[in-house]
Amino acid sequence: MAGVDVSDLTISFPLYHGDARSLKKTLGGVMGRQLSGRFAQDNRNRVTVQALKNVSFSLQPGERLGLIGRNGAGKTTLLRALAGIYEPVGGCVLVRGRIGTLLDTSLGMNPELSGRENIRLRGLFFGLSGKALAEVEQDVETFADLGSFMDLPLKTYSSGMGVRLSFGLATAIMPQILIMDEWFMAGDASFMQRAEQRIAGLVEGAEILVVSSHMPEVVAKWCTRLLWMEQGRVVMDGPTDEVLPAYLEAAG
Ligand SMILES: Nc1ncnc2c1ncn2[C@@H]1O[C@H](COP(=O)(O)OP(=O)(O)OP(=O)(O)O)[C@@H](O)[C@H]1O
């Protein structure tokens, strides 16, 4: 049975700068005080920005969680931590089940290989072979509709082509836990129509969904629960019909 347990998760990033002393001075000046708030200093004397601070929640099968909050709230960092891309600086992330991510079109793709080769590689990684692998290849080829680009290296694709391929691939193999950025719900109209059908199939099939979004209509449609984040912290966690009105009212 799939599940997610996040406890006391803290993630910070060092800010590299040619002159750390002047960066500290600038940040101190901007904030009108010594380094505080989201900025801190690590044990190597580097200025760091705290992307997540003591975030805790658990997800059970059937839950569809939406992450909402203003720019820089920490939504993308949390998605990436769930996907295992970022290591916690403090606390921990426990994920039970097979994860599928729709985060970054280039994630897990080799730009030197063709679309077809990338599909086969991903299929093999997921333990597919023979008929199952051929079915996934056919499914993604039909969805992505890339014509002869299917056999050209990914680095020759436009960003829209890259999205179609990676979306098709990520939605061809059913994950138990789906981690998704709303960015994948934006696209041209015909892509979106076909994409929605696949997302619906995936969301129904996946045991758990986590999606980050700025769009109230997206979370209202897809999510049963919302985590409202600000400045790397959880402001409110609850059913969509309770958190969304509170968030919209605060956003003015
Ligand atoms: N690689 C990084 N290096 C330094 N700081 C980072 C990095 N990634 C994120 N941050 C910082 O961490 C904080 C959280 O960023 P994050 O991208 O998670 O926010 P977000 O809620 O997804 O924002 P948006 O809605 O604008 O996409 C921000 O202050 C950001 O500047």
Question: Between the ranges 101-110, 157-166, 195-204, where is the mean pLDDT highest?
Answer: 157-166
- Whole-number pLDDT of residue 18: 52
Residue nearest to atom 7 of ligand 1 (CA): 13
The residues lining ligand 1, judged by C-beta closer than 6 Å to any ligand atom, are 13, 49, 51, 69, 71-77
Q: Which of 38, 48, 53, 71 to mutate to test the pocket of ligand 1 (most atoms within 8 A of CB)?
A: 71
Q: Say what the ipTM of the complex is.
A: 0.96
Atom nearest to 50 CA in ligand 1: 12
Distance set, CA 41 to CA 37, 134, 231 (Å): 11, 52, 17
Tens digits of residue pLDDT in 15-55: 865 555 666 666 666 555 555 567 777 777 778 889 999 99
User: pLDDT class for 90, splitting at 50, 70, 90?
Assistant: very high
Q: Is the dihedral of CA 189, 191, 192, 193 positive or negative?
A: positive
Q: Please state the pTM of the whole predicted model.
A: 0.84
Residue 30 within any structural domain of the chain: no
- When divided into structural domains, the chain yields a total of 1
Residue 142 within any structural domain of the chain: yes
Residue nearest to atom 6 of ligand 1 (CA): 13
**What range does the domain containing 127 cover?**
111-169
Atom nearest to 229 CA in ligand 1: 21
Tens digits of residue pLDDT in 166-200: 888 888 888 899 998 876 665 566 777 778 888 77
- Whole-number pLDDT of residue 24: 62
Atom nearest to 70 CA in ligand 1: 25
Residue 145 within any structural domain of the chain: yes
Q: Is the dihedral of CA 134, 138, 144, 146 positive or negative?
A: positive
Q: Is the pLDDT of residue 211 over 60?
A: yes
